[in-house]
Structure 1
Amino acid sequence: MLEAALIEKCADPSLDLSVVEAFVRAVGNGDPLAVTVKVGRKKILVEKAETPEQALAIARLYVGQAIVRVGMTSYPAHLGIESGTVLSPTLFDACENLRMGTVMFAKIMRIVAAWYGRNASKEALPYVLSDSLHAWVSGEFEGKDVFRADDPGGPAAERQVMRPQDRRNSDEASLPSVEEAQPGDITSADMRIDLSGIGSNAPIVPVR
């Protein structure tokens, strides 16, 4: 299980702790040195890295030629670059990978929530999270590249960014529960649901 202290320190503060846990559980295996490589729908078997240096070397070998996901969040390391030589070693730092992954996932949740519409009922919350997890695995939502898509903004994007210690000590900073959420406030509601199985066996398809 992902340590709460790591989430508090490193995860995007716009996401509730339970959402971060569900995200990491569904899309990764918790290994900060994980490297997954796919060409089309074919998964390429790579050596299991024992050190950050080994993980970086493996990722650099395939970036530019394949879809490369790394770290505990299966972050798409290939985004925006053509050569693995520019990959940063911080991709395999647990805290930095969690930060990058949750920032991107929060954006994807806002994209999905915007599709459901601001007037969607709170019953749509589990579907927003489910669709967001599938979008992370596939790289697409409604036929569009979610990693390169613009951030539509919304309540989660507008939430005041607070330091972890501030978030723990502020009642106002905590996300509302599902019961407290207003019907049109999808992205700011607390999604306390168990989606541990979602996306765990779903194939990763190429990001266009």
Structure 2
Amino acid sequence: MIDAALIEKCADPSLTPAIVEEFIAAAGSEDPLNVTVRAGSKTFLVPKSKSPQEAMKLVQDHLGNAVVRVGLTQYPVGIGVTDKSQVTADVFDTCNNIKIGTALFARVYRVVTKWYGTPVQEAFEDAIEAYQTGYFDGEYVLTVKDPGETVELAIPEADTSMEDAPATDSGASGQDPKNELRQQLWAQDPNKADIGVDLSGIGDFNRE
């Protein structure tokens, strides 16, 4: 679990600590140097980085040809990047990664909640899915206009309903339909969508 003081200092102020914790637990990584590389529906096995410099080398090698997500929040570094030199090792700084990752998720969560019309629990799960795939309701959601902080967000509740639930048949193929949808959305390369978007509204890499 992320230190509460770190969340208070670094996370987007529009999100409660509970939302931040659940978001990182669901969509993030425990390794601040983690780099995930995905092209289409395939995730590439990349070496574990031992330093921000090694992690940046992985980003530089794959950015533009694949979807690259980094750090604790698995922030998609391809958004708004027109030149690889625009991405610096600051994306692997723990506080900065939390700052930009939670800012992006907050925007996605508000978009999804506005679509629902009311702050319901289902909006959180859909927002996590949208953050991971880049798509919600058929639209590339990571670059859409922020509806504003007046949108009230539901605090996710711990889901224990499946702990004692009997196993269910997911079909002859044994595949989860929701996972199949995720694979289809991942196959749509987010790095090819609105690549020239200004990131100034999400986070400032150089800000303390």
Short-chain TM bin: 0.7 to 0.9
Return the offset for 1:86.
2.4
Secondary structure of the residue aligned to 2:142 is: coil
Q: Distance in 2 between matches of 1:105 and 1:195?
A: 20
Match of 1:68?
68
Partner of residue 142 from structure 2, selected from 147, 151, 171 = 147
Aligned residue identity for 1:3: D
Q: Distance in 2 between matches of 1:20 and 1:154?
A: 16
**How big is each residue's C-alpha offset from its partner over 1:44-69, in whole Å with a ceiling of 9 and x where there is no partner?**
11111011110011111110111000
Return the offset for 1:154.
4.2
Query: Once superposed, what is the RMSD of the aligned Cα atoms?
Result: 2.3
Q: Which TM-score applies when normalising by structure 1?
A: 0.76
Whether the 8 Å contact between 2:72 and 2:97 is mirrored in structure 1 is yes
Q: Which TM-score applies when normalising by structure 2?
A: 0.76
Match of 1:133?
128
Return the offset for 1:83.
3.5
Match of 1:23?
23
Match of 1:159?
none
- Mark the runs of 5 or more structure 2 residues left unpaired by the alignment: 163-177, 194-208
Structure 2 CA distance for partners of 1:50 and 1:195, relative to 1, 3 Å? farther
Are 1:4 and 2:14 matched, yes or no? no
Between the aligned residues of both structures, percent identity stands at 38
Higher mean displacement: 103-112 or 76-85? 76-85
Aligned residue identity for 2:127: S
Aligned residues between the structures: 171
Structure 2 CA distance for partners of 1:145 and 1:28, relative to 1, 3 Å? same
- Mark the runs of 5 or more structure 1 residues left unpaired by the alignment: 157-185
Match of 2:168?
none
Whether the 8 Å contact between 2:22 and 2:156 is mirrored in structure 1 is no
**How big is each residue's C-alpha offset from its partner over 1:147-203, in whole Å with a ceiling of 9 and x where there is no partner?**
1111111415xxxxxxxxxxxxxxxxxxxxxxxxxxxxx42x5x1412699x99x65
Q: Distance in 2 between matches of 1:29 and 1:104?
A: 16
